[in-house]
Amino acid sequence: MPRNKSVAVRSCGNAGHMETRSDFLQLQKLLHDNRKVMEERFQTMEVRFAKMEKRHSQERGRISNLEESVRRAVDGVMPKVEELLARHMTPQPLREVDPRLVPVGASSAPNDVCSLTANVASTIEVPQQNIQRGAQAVGGGNNKRANASAITNPTECALVTDGGATVPPAPSSEGAAPASRPSAPPPSAASGATNPPASLHEAAERGDVAAVQRFLADGARVDARDKDGNTTLHIAASSGRTEIVDILMAKGAAVDRRGLRARTPLHCAAAKGHETIVARLVAAGAKLDSRDADGPTAAALAAQSGHAEVVLWLLKQGVPVEATDNKNKTLLMYAAEEENLEIIAHLLEQGASPLKTDNNKEFPLVVSSKKGYGDVVGEMLKVAATGNTNLLERCLCVVGSADVVWSFADEALDLVLGPAGGQALVEAARGGRLEVMEALLRVGVNVKASLEMALRAAAGRGHKGCIVALLDAGVDVNARDIETKHTALSLAAMYGHAECVEVLLQRGAKKDQLTEVLVNAALEGHLDVLKILLRGGAGAKESREVALQAAAHGGHRACIVALLDAGVDVNAGDNYNGTALHWAAVYGHAECVKELLQRGAKQKLTDNFGRTALILAKENNKAACIDILQN
């Protein structure tokens, strides 16, 4: 081919090729003109980053100094605390105590020591482990382990040894003999533990009814909170301890008290599926519509966790089937997120809509499509097709069946599944959810725009099975996006999905797309796609030359080899007579420069501005290419 080819000769080529080449040359000019601007911006960003790093270093220094100050303050306070506690190590003379009234693990020491310890802990901000050290001092040095709750809760004050027995009080200074220590009762059969529970909360969690009763008889507060903010009723409800729940409510435990994450005991019981306790709490006045800190009600937590019996019971008590949280999520959406099919079936049977949206404009049908829950999607589609109760009952008899005939609901499908089904179809195709997508196609989702969008989404993500299913359903293989003008073939080639490209070509993708697709594949370095296109005869002679220059621009040596092996002229020039060697030199792709020279590229060829590849390499400070071209 002559070295200097005129634009007029070039214009005789394929029109699509000229458009692609024009875009390519515009990109070249844009990159060349804006290089200095971009470098200045990068320098400015580096300066800003250095300033930010300096500020962060200063902040870290301040935090380190603050931590050291706090540490010194704590170290200065602790000796005073320990000295104060030591003054009260010797208790007053004891009065006789009935051993049967002493709670499991409780000390027979008088309450004044516990009260003093609690007052100290409440007035001085000291870390918990240091308070425990103070509590050990109260034990006279013989106590190896102190119950932390004994310091913070005087009503449950007890010092317990490793063996689980209480520590006897020390003799008074007047020589009075200590009261006799009751022997520790045997462990509760319900708890199965070696050591007796050390607190009311622990006894409730274990299900130790006798211990709970002893703690309450000794004066433990029924609504006392643990370190997480939960009351004993929260713990018993979550652990499924029905008898203890009854005992606590009989003692006046608050049924709507908020605990961790603002949950009530009803939330805790529903989330764990304890139906009997849920019924007890509701009977005692627990509010059905209370929401926790994240928004769900007790019914929503039960639906999310898959406890169908609890959900059904709460619905019978008046919880609306379309009840929502603070984000407008329904019970059906909670169940759909976790694929709880049994609950979904019950909710749909009672009239829940699979098309009701939350604040994010999503609805259960789309959520299940995204997650790939084929059975759930099929179940919802049956209800979305019609609001007729009799029809619903017929549909529920064939849950999961792939052979449901919807001829009796065509009109309803067109009305209801138009936008909803189309959106779900696109989401399923984008995520490669073949089972869900096939279910949607079977029930008649036929929105043309959504079908074509789904094909392009599947092609862009490389989901071959979804592409085949959509083409089998009659989707136009050459459908273009209105705005981007992309087809399924161009997207599959752009993102390097070779198998999808092959399928689309086999299924009738138009040849007039191949010039653009070929250049894109070379520019992005998708070798497998490039080889498939070359085997399929993609691109005229000039289109392949543009692809060679694009591969050199992108630095894709393997694509250069494939194109040269296919017979592309190594010295072919673009509209400015820039060859592949020029492009490789400009961007510093040394390996490409070597390959092109070995395959016959001429170094002395100049572009329309009189520049050789060596001149361009020098202008752009590409040292590796300069060395190769000079030698």
Q: What is the pLDDT of residues 112-142, one digit of tens each?
A: 434 433 443 343 344 444 434 433 433 343 3
Beta strand extents in 572-616 (DSSP E only): none
User: Is the distance from CB of 105 to CB of 208 less than 8 angstroms?
Assistant: no
Lowest mean pLDDT among 314-323, 460-469, 532-541: 532-541
> DSSP label at 231?
B
Q: Identity (one letter) of the amino acid at 160? A: V
Q: Per-residue pLDDT tens for 263-307?
A: 999 999 999 999 999 999 999 999 999 999 988 999 999 998 999
pLDDT at 381 over 60: no
Window from 80-89, 180-189, 416-425, 622-631 with minimum mean pLDDT: 180-189
* Residue 410 or residue 564, greater confidence: 564
What global pTM score does this model have? 0.40
- In which band, very low, low, confident or very high, does the pLDDT at 598 lie, cut at 50, 70 and 90? very high
CB 440 within 8 A of CB 425: yes
Name the percent of the chain in helix, strand, coil, to the closest 5.
60, 0, 40
For residue 588, the model assigns a pLDDT of 94
> pLDDT tens, 474-529?
999 999 988 888 899 989 988 999 999 999 989 988 866 677 788 888 988 999 99
Report in angstroms the alpha-carbon separations of 110 from 158, 175, 258, 318, 376: 11, 17, 33, 51, 63
Predicted confidence at residue 443, as pLDDT, reads 66
Lowest mean pLDDT among 22-31, 134-143, 222-231, 458-467: 134-143
pLDDT confidence of residue 128? 42
Q: Residues 21-63: pLDDT tens digits?
A: 666 667 666 666 666 666 677 677 777 777 777 777 777 777 7
pLDDT tens column, 559-595: 999 999 999 999 999 888 999 999 999 999 999 999 9
From residue 239, give the alpha-carbon distance in Å to each of 68, 203, 243, 268, 332: 42, 11, 11, 9, 26
Q: In this predicted structure, what is the pLDDT of residue 434?
A: 85
Residue 171 pLDDT exceeds 60: no
Position 465 pLDDT exceeds 60: yes
Burial of 465 (0-12, 13-18, 19+ CB in 10 A): middle
Q: Give Cα separations from 301 to 267, 308, 357 (angstroms).
A: 7, 11, 19
From residue 171, alpha-carbon distances to 16, 98, 599 in Å are 104, 19, 103
Of the pLDDT bands very low, low, confident and very high (cuts 50, 70, 90), residue 362 is low
Averaged pLDDT, 237-257: 95
Of 280-294, 340-354, 357-371, the least confident:
357-371
Residue keyed to tokens 């270093």:
57
DSSP letters for 342-403: HHHHHHHHTT--TT---TTS--HHHHHHHHT-HHHHHHHHHHHT---HHHHHHHHTTTT-S-
Most confident among 147-161, 326-340, 541-555 (mean pLDDT): 541-555
- Quote the pLDDT of residue 596: 95
CB 498 within 8 A of CB 526: yes
Q: Compute the average pLDDT of residues 153-174.
A: 36
The amino acid at residue 57 is S
Q: How many CB atoms lie within 10 A of CB 133?
A: 15
- Give the number of other Cβ atoms within 10 Å of residue 65's Cβ: 10
Tens-place pLDDT, residues 609-618: 999 999 999 9
At 470 the pLDDT is 93
Mean pLDDT score of the chain, rounded to an integer?
A: 73
Does 11 have pLDDT greater than 50? Answer: no
For residue 455, pLDDT beyond 50 = yes
Residue 541 near residue 515, CB atoms below 8 Å: no
Nearest to 134 by CA among 76, 96, 80: 80
Measure CA of the first residue to CA of the last residue in the chain; give whole Å: 27
When comparing pLDDT for 173 and 253, which is higher? 253
Q: Between helices 374-384 and 410-430, what is the axis angle to 10°?
A: 150
- Token digits of residue 289: 């519509």
